[in-house]
Amino acid sequence: MPATGGLMMYLQSTDGLSGRDVHLLMIFVGVIAAALVVQAIGLVSAALVASTLLKKVQGIADASDAKISPILAKTNALLEDLSPKVRSISTNVEQISYTVREKCDELGETLTQLNRTVSDANVKTRSQIAKVDGMVTDALDTTAEVSKAVQEGIRMPVRQIAGIIAGFRAGLETLVAKSPFGKSKGYESPYDL
């Protein structure tokens, strides 16, 4: 707009239009008209391309709608069919969860009681083992004492008998050595002094 205002000022300041000015003015108007024609052709071609593109997009949308509509209908029917089943499954899972929790609590109590029972049995078993250990120790000690007593009971008479036999033998050998039979054979008693 400032350019137009500047042109108007120029035209008012001059006395009139000269032939040269009219000629330039005609050229400028022709250039503007040509630019407007080119712009109009561009807009018309853009409109034609946009119209063609819009028709293609509409065709794609119609084809997609034709293909997607049955799928959407089936999906909607499937969702309507599955909705009560999903609710039922959800309810069943919730009930199973409560049941499992109750059974876990019962199992916990049972394990606690079992642990107490095992602990009690362990204490009683240790007590019984201690008693049996004491009895076995006493039996072994008694057996050792009896064995020692039997050994002493056997050893003393055996020593005495051995002593008697040794004395009898010494007496017998001395007797044989002093007898006339023993001297002729040259037998000497080891007990002679």
* Residue-wise DSSP of 160-183: HHHHHHHHHHHHHHHHHHHSHHHH
Arithmetic mean of pLDDT, 86-97: 85
Domain boundaries, the chain: 30-184
* pLDDT greater at residue 66 or residue 40: 40
Average pLDDT over residues 117-141: 84
The pLDDT of 163-185, averaged and rounded, is 78
Query: Is the pTM here over 0.85, yes or no?
Result: no
Q: What is the pLDDT of residue 5?
A: 57
Task: Give yes or no for residue 179 having a pLDDT over 80.
Answer: no
CA separation for the pair 2, 33 (Å, rounded): 20
Contact by Cβ (8 Å): 164, 179:
no
Contact of 191 with 170, CB cutoff 8 Å? yes
Task: List the Cα angle 55/61/67 in 5-degree steps.
Answer: 140
